[in-house]
Structures are given as structure tokens and as C-alpha cells.
Copies of this chain bind each other. A is one copy, B any other.
Amino acid sequence: MDNEALMMTIAVLGGTGKEGKGLAYRWAKAGYQVLIGSRTPEKAIGAAAEIIELMDGGGSVVGMTNPEAARQAHIVVLTVPYSAHRDTLESVKEELKGKLFIDVTVPLVPPKVTKVQMPAAGSAAQEAKQILGEDAEVVAAFQNISHEHLLGNGEVACDVLVTGTSKNARQEALKLVDAAGLTGWDAGPIENSVVVEGLTSVLININKQYGSSHAGIKITGAKNK
């Protein structure tokens, strides 16, 4: 638990879902103040209680609406299903100004979730950038990590590829990857989000073809420390 964590508040919008809850748990354990956002505040409060229970009563995790969580946080993380991506962003847009925004959304199009099908903007993260406007810094990360891994305490055999609108924003996000106990890599500009978001469909296909349940990827041949 470092001093930076103690002073930073992270909002996890859509934090009642499995992925959001897993990330919130990891960051709360690392000492961050975590706010769980949801369209339904009762659900957010329930998810916060679940995470605190997982931590044996420790940690600072509070549930509230998405806009309220975004308003109170320094860093805002979006973990909603793609169908709620645009509406949630529109509802918190004003609260995101000047903040680091991390999009975890994967634009899956059911029922063909093994096929990469990106929105017109090129990827969910690029769509977020369009919605939030020219000045917004958008990072995309964590799309490939299975939530079972996050809610456990063990080592996660899947790296995190971090794309974003600036190197500085990617570096800030990589600190949160580290805080979550994961291995992260600067994967380049926001245009590269199509690779990282689309990789989720590739991994789902591998799970289906090879009878696995949480295929992931590791970068080889390079050292990130």
C-alpha cells in the first residue's frame, strides 16, 4: 500500500458486474478508495458490501450512482456491457473532465461473440473518445482478464495491454495495473484498442474450440520492469 494509493479515489462504473467487482476488489486491497457506481444505487451498495466482506471488513469501498461516483473520483473506470456503453458515458461525461478515464468495455455483438465486430469508431475506446470530446484522455485496458482471476488472490496468467490517447495516460493506467497485481504493457495509441478489445473474441473462440474456460495471453521476449 503506497502513499499515492491512499490519496486516490477510483470510481468503477458498472462495478456491480463481475469484471468491475473483481477490479474494485483488487484496488481496494491495494489501498485505493474505491467507489462502486451503478444505475441502481442499491445494487452498488450491495456490491460494495460484498467486496468489503471478501476483505474481512477492511478496505474503503462505497456504492452510489454512476454520476456521483464519477464526480467524487480522481480516476474513472468503465466496466459496463457494450449495450450500456454510450448511455453510461453520456450520463457521466461532465464529471470526467480532467480525469483519467479507463474503458474496459468489449464491444461484443451477441450471439456471435467469437467474431470481432467493432463499432464504426473503430473500437469501444475510440467511441468513448468521440463521446467525451477532443480534450479527453482515454485509456483502454483489462478487457482480456477473466473475473474469476480477479476475485482470487493468486497470480493471474494473463497480461494487460494498455492503449491510450497519450503515453502519460498509459503510464498512469499502468500504475493501476500494477496495483491490481497484474502485469501490464504499453500497447500504443488508442487506435490499437481494436486489437485488445478484439482479442477477447479470439480468447472466447479458443475457450470454445479447446474446452478451456479462461484463456489469456502473456507477452514473451520483453521485460516490463
Give A residues with C-beta under 8 Å from B. Answer: 114-118, 146, 157-158, 161, 185-189, 191-192, 194-196, 198-199, 201-203, 205-207, 209-224
Contact = CB atoms under 8 A, between A and B. Distances in A.
Contact of A116 (B194, B205, B206): B194
A142 to B, nearest CB: 15
A220 B116 contact: no
Contact of A216 (B187, B202, B203, B221): B221
B220 A189 contact: no
A219 B216 contact: yes
A116 B213 CA distance: 29
A115 B219 CA distance: 18
A185 B210 CA distance: 9
B218 A218 contact: yes
Contacts of A209: 185-186
Top 10 A-B pairs, shortest CB-CB distance: A212-B222, A188-B205, A195-B198, A157-B220, A215-B222, A216-B220, A187-B202, A210-B222, A186-B209, A215-B221
Given A116-B192, A198-B192, A219 B215 contact: yes
A209 B191 CA distance: 17
B195 A116 contact: yes
Given A215-B222, A222-B212, A194 B194 contact: yes
B205 A187 contact: yes
Contact of A194 (B146, B185, B198): B198
A224 B195 contact: no
Contact of A224 (B115, B196, B201, B210): B210
